[in-house]
């Protein structure tokens, strides 16, 4: 899937959920084997038009996420290309064991699309937030985990899963309509590979998901302070791009930034890599605390946790003051 | 018909014998009681449906995974697992034949199982796919009465009716026992019929050890609804000291008990 700078501006305004629906429409036109299922969140997945245009390729399962995974797996077993949607905690926690049995143990080729992960559900609150989903999903063998940074990357990720045989996946959608774009122009996406968004020497920033938009913005502020950071989009949390080991050795300081609690996400993955590979860099993390916090508008929450561009800038410039 | 019934009865005897052989051979505790309660059910299913290794065919899923000894035995009797010697790997270190099924399409094991309440949703997925492909094959799922405490069973039951899956059968093995003992009367054979009917299924019920009754129950399908066959069974059926004795939910056969159990099935 290719895109122009006009596309990506428009897509960002529509947001990841509406764009998921649109990308599925495009895929359905090319792939008759595509079936999309949702546990009563079709509309929230931007699939209203999909349901009308491809009624035979959409199955509405009631509010029964455990059942959703089983039915999807049965269909995948019969050769269909299956995508399912629900909110991040309802897939990763409510149906966690079904995912373990069907996608992990049996390797049924189902793509889980986790809507509204991180803090993006705003006033819907902690019940709907994806705070711990990565920690849980990444313990399941055979499950790929992919966290697109913006709508254009989402399109590339969905295309990649739809037209290749990558095995089961957890695709984590973060951000809201209007979240900052990460990619202004078309680029090459390769399954399982990191993408360098900015080159620099002072610190290595590793991140994933829509928060990368805020980090990109903070790079401009940091530049004014003569700080040149290298920014890498770890779009694939599983499998992890092993070239990261070599890269990390080049930096004295490394920071992981993510919209996930400090337990078990990218911060933990990188810490494990550093320990295992005896990398001597200092590792820092900026993430959500291991607790249930307040509910507010998405932008407000990012600011509250220091995950907005200003908070990120402050954190990094302070880190670089540590000798 | 009489000839067919007799064939299936003979098959059932053979399966019981193999279950006991395998169980004794492994030298470990194994799930014998819940395997013996579904012997006739499996014998009938594998005799009247077109279950093959190669597609297209009718499909069988053992959702109550702890009944695996019965499945393993019938897969041998149907020739899917050729050598009896292979069965004797059951519950040996690093064997693929353990207490619960591990998916292996080449010998006819459709799903990995052991976590209860999951097989019916998978079966719903298979049944939907047959509908989409305009194939008139059936999907049969065997669940336990204790397993029906799992909420996901009823989630799947709803989807099956919403999708008008008249190509889907669930057989409920009401042996009246679960791991910790007798099942509450709220989940009894009689109550189970009401529950599945309440969920909009076509419900047939019969003695789960009566071959002819089972065959007839499968014949009474529906044009639009999935069919639930609620069967009254005896846990440990066929071995006098195991019948309705929940110690044999998961028990170990000594040589003496093994010989006694063989004697018992020969008498029955």
| pLDDT value of residue B54 | 75
Contact A64/B124, CB-based, under 8 Å? Answer: no
Q: Which of B146, B63, B67, B78 is nearest to B110 (CA)?
A: B63
How close does chain B come to A65, measured CA to CA in Å? 9
Q: Scanning the structure block, which residue is given the tokens 């530049």? A: A223
Q: What token pair was written down for B249?
A: 């939910």
Contacting residues of B for A66, CB less than 8 Å apart: 117-118, 121, 151-152, 155
The residue-averaged pLDDT of A253-282 equals 98
Pairing of strands A110-115, A81-87: parallel
Neighbours of A246 (CB within 10 A): 10
What does each C-alpha distance from B245 to A43, B34, B206 come to in angstroms? 52, 11, 22
In the CATH scheme, what architecture does the domain A5-172 have?
3-Layer(aba) Sandwich (3.40)
Contact with chain A for residue B132, Cβ under 8 A: yes
| pLDDT value of residue B96 | 96
Among B113, B116, B118, B122, the strongest candidate for a mutation testing the A interface, having the largest count of A CBs within 10 A, is: B122
How close does chain A come to B155, measured CA to CA in Å? 6
Q: Which of A94, A115, A95 is nearest to A104 (CA)?
A: A95
Cα(B266)–Cα(B205) distance, integer angstroms: 28
CA A283 to chain centre: 22
Interfacial residues of A (vs B; Cβ cutoff 8 Å) = 56, 59, 61-62, 64, 66-78, 80, 97-98, 101-102, 105-106
Q: How confident is the model at residue A149 (pLDDT cuts 50, 70, 90)?
A: very high
Cα(A118)–Cα(A96) distance, integer angstroms: 17
Give the list of residues 6+ apart from residue A40 with CB closer than 8 angstroms, or none: A60, A61, A62, A63
User: B141 by DSSP, 3-state: which?
Assistant: strand
Contact with chain A for residue B227, Cβ under 8 A: no
pTM of this prediction? 0.96
| pLDDT value of residue B56 | 72
| pLDDT value of residue B252 | 97
Residue B165: exposed, middle, or buried by beta-carbon count in 10 A (0-12, 13-18, 19+)?
A: buried
Contacting residues of A for B110, CB less than 8 Å apart: 77
Q: What is the DSSP letter of A252?
A: S
Angle A293-A295-A298 from CA coordinates, rounded to 5°: 110
Residue A232: exposed, middle, or buried by beta-carbon count in 10 A (0-12, 13-18, 19+)?
A: buried
Q: Which of B68, B12, B2, B3 is nearest to B265 (CA)?
A: B12
Q: What token pair was written down for A248?
A: 């990390």
Cα(A209)–Cα(A147) distance, integer angstroms: 5
Residue A232 contacts residue A91 (beta carbons within 8 Å):
no
How close does chain A come to B43, measured CA to CA in Å? 24
| pLDDT value of residue A1 | 87
Residue A179 contacts residue A209 (beta carbons within 8 Å):
no
Q: Where are the domains of chain B?
A: 2-267
| pLDDT value of residue A70 | 98
Q: E strands, chain A, where?
A: 34-39, 58-61, 81-87, 110-115, 144-146, 169-172, 195-198, 203-207, 229-233, 236-238, 253-261, 282-288
For residue B121, give the nearest of A67, A76, A106 by CB distance.
Answer: A67
User: B223 by DSSP, 3-state: which?
Assistant: coil
Helix (H) or strand (E) segment spanning residue B139: strand B139-144
Between chain A and chain B, the number of residue pairs with CB atoms below 8 A apart is 87
Q: Scanning the structure block, which residue is given the tokens 């995948």? A: A76
Contact with chain A for residue B164, Cβ under 8 A: no
Helix (H) or strand (E) segment spanning residue B182: strand B181-182
Contacting residues of B for A102, CB less than 8 Å apart: 118, 122
| pLDDT value of residue A115 | 96
Cα(B93)–Cα(A75) distance, integer angstroms: 33
Q: Where are the domains of chain A?
A: 5-172, 195-321
Is residue A79 scored above 90 in pLDDT? Answer: yes
Contact A70/B112, CB-based, under 8 Å? Answer: no
Beta bridge partners of A111: A83, A169
Cis peptide before A67 (omega within 30 of 0): no
Dihedrals phi, psi of B144, to nearest 5 degrees = -95, 160
Helix (H) or strand (E) segment spanning residue B8: helix B2-26
Q: What token pair was written down for A297?
A: 């508008």
Q: Which of B183, B118, B197 is nearest to B146 (CA)?
A: B183
Tens place of pLDDT per residue across chain B (268 aa): 899 999 999 999 999 999 999 999 999 999 999 999 999 999 999 999 999 987 779 999 999 999 999 999 999 999 999 999 999 999 999 999 999 999 999 999 999 999 999 999 999 999 999 999 999 999 999 999 999 999 999 999 999 999 999 999 999 999 999 999 999 999 999 999 999 999 999 999 999 999 999 999 999 989 999 999 999 999 999 999 999 999 999 999 999 999 999 999 999 7
Fold classified for B2-267: Rossmann fold (3.40.50)
Q: What token pair was written down for B193?
A: 């019929």
Residue A38 contacts residue A48 (beta carbons within 8 Å):
no
Contact B120/A102, CB-based, under 8 Å? Answer: no
pLDDT digits (tens, 9 = 90+) for A174-194: 999 999 999 999 999 999 999
Residue B169 region, left (φ>0) first, then alpha (ψ -120 to 50), else beta? beta
**Alpha-helical runs (H) found in A260-308:** 266-276, 298-304
> In terms of CA atoms, which chain B residue is nearest residue A94?
B152
Q: What token pair was written down for B248?
A: 């044999």
Angle A95-A64-B197 from CA coordinates, rounded to 5°: 130
Q: How confident is the model at residue A228 (pLDDT cuts 50, 70, 90)?
A: very high
Q: What token pair was written down for A124?
A: 């819907």
Give the list of residues 6+ apart from residue A232 with CB closer than 8 angstroms, or none: A194, A195, A196, A197, A204, A205, A206, A207, A244, A247
- End-to-end Cα, chain A, rounded Å: 45
| pLDDT value of residue B177 | 96
Residue A235 contacts residue A146 (beta carbons within 8 Å):
yes
Among A71, A77, A81, A107, the strongest candidate for a mutation testing the B interface, having the largest count of B CBs within 10 A, is: A71
Pick the CATH number of A195-321 from 3.40.190.10, 3.40.50.920, 3.30.70.270, 3.30.450.40: 3.40.50.920
Residue A230 contacts residue A252 (beta carbons within 8 Å):
no
User: A106 by DSSP, 3-state: which?
Assistant: coil
Least confident of A89-93, A307-311, B180-184: B180-184
> In terms of CA atoms, which chain B residue is nearest residue A74?
B125
One fold for A5-172 and A195-321: yes
How close does chain B come to A230, measured CA to CA in Å? 45
How close does chain A come to B240, measured CA to CA in Å? 36
How close does chain A come to B108, measured CA to CA in Å? 14
Contacting residues of A for B132, CB less than 8 Å apart: 56
């Amino acid at each position: 899937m290719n895109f122009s700078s006009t596309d990506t501006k428009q897509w960002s305004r529509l947001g990841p959920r509406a764009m998921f629906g649109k990308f599925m429409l495009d895929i359905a036109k090319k792939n008759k084997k595509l079936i999309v299922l949702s546990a009563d969140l079709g509309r929230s997945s931007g699939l209203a038009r999909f349901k009308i245009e491809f009624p035979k390729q959409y199955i509405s399962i009631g509010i029964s996420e455990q059942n959703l995974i089983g039915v999807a797996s049965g269909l995948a077993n019969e050769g269909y290309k299956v995508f399912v949607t629900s909110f991040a905690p309802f897939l990763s926690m409510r149906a966690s064991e079904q995912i373990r049995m069907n996608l992990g143990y049996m390797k049924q080729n189902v793509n889980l699309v986790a809507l509204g992960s991180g803090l993006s559900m705003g006033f819907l609150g902690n019940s709907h937030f994806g705070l711990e989903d990565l920690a849980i999903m990444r313990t399941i063998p055979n499950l790929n985990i992919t966290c697109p940074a913006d709508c254009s990357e989402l399109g590339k990720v969905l295309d990649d899963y739809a037209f290749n045989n990558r095995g089961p996946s957890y695709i984590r959608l973060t951000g809201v309509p209007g979240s900052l774009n990460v990619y202004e122009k078309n680029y090459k996406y390769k399954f399982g590979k990191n993408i360098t968004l900015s080159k620099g020497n002072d610190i290595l920033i590793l991140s994933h998901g829509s928060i990368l938009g805020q980090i990109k913005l903070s790079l401009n502020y940091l530049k004014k302070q003569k700080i040149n950071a290298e920014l890498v989009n770890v779009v694939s949390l599983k499998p992890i791009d092993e070239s990261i080991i070599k890269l990390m050795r080049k930096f004295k300081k490394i920071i992981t930034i993510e919209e996930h609690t400090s337990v078990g996400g990218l911060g933990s993955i990188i810490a494990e890599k550093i320990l295992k590979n005896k990398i001597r860099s200092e590792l820092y993390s900026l993430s959500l605390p291991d607790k249930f916090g307040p509910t507010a508008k998405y932008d407000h929450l990012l600011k509250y946790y220091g995950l907005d561009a200003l908070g990120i800038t402050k954190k990094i410039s302070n880190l670089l003051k540590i000798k | 018909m009489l000839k067919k019934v007799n064939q299936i009865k003979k098959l059932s005897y053979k399966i019981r014998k193999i279950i006991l052989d395998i169980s004794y051979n492994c030298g470990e505790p194994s799930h014998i009681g819940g395997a013996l309660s579904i012997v006739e059910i499996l014998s009938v299913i594998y005799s009247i449906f077109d279950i093959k290794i190669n597609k297209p065919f009718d499909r069988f899923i053992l959702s109550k995974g702890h009944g695996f000894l019965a499945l393993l035995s019938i897969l041998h009797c149907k020739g899917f697992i050729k050598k009896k010697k292979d069965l004797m790997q059951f519950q040996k270190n690093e064997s693929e034949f353990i207490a619960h099924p591990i998916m292996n399409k080449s010998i006819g094991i459709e799903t990995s199982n052991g976590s209860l309440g999951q097989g019916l949703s998978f079966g719903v997925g298979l049944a939907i796919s047959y509908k989409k492909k305009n194939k008139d094959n059936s999907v049969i799922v065997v669940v336990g009465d204790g397993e029906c405490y799992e909420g996901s069973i009823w989630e799947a039951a709803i989807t099956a009716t919403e999708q008008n899956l008249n190509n889907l059968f669930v057989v409920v093995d009401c042996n009246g026992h679960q791991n910790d003992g007798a099942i509450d009367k709220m989940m009894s054979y009689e109550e189970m019929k009401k529950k599945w009917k309440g969920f909009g299924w076509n419900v047939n019920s019969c003695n789960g050890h009566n071959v002819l009754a089972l065959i007839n129950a499968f014949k009474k399908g529906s044009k639009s609804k999935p069919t639930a066959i609620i069967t009254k069974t005896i846990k440990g059926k066929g071995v006098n000291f195991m019948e309705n004795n929940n110690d044999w939910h998961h028990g170990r056969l000594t040589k003496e008990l093994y010989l006694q159990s063989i004697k018992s099935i020969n008498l029955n």
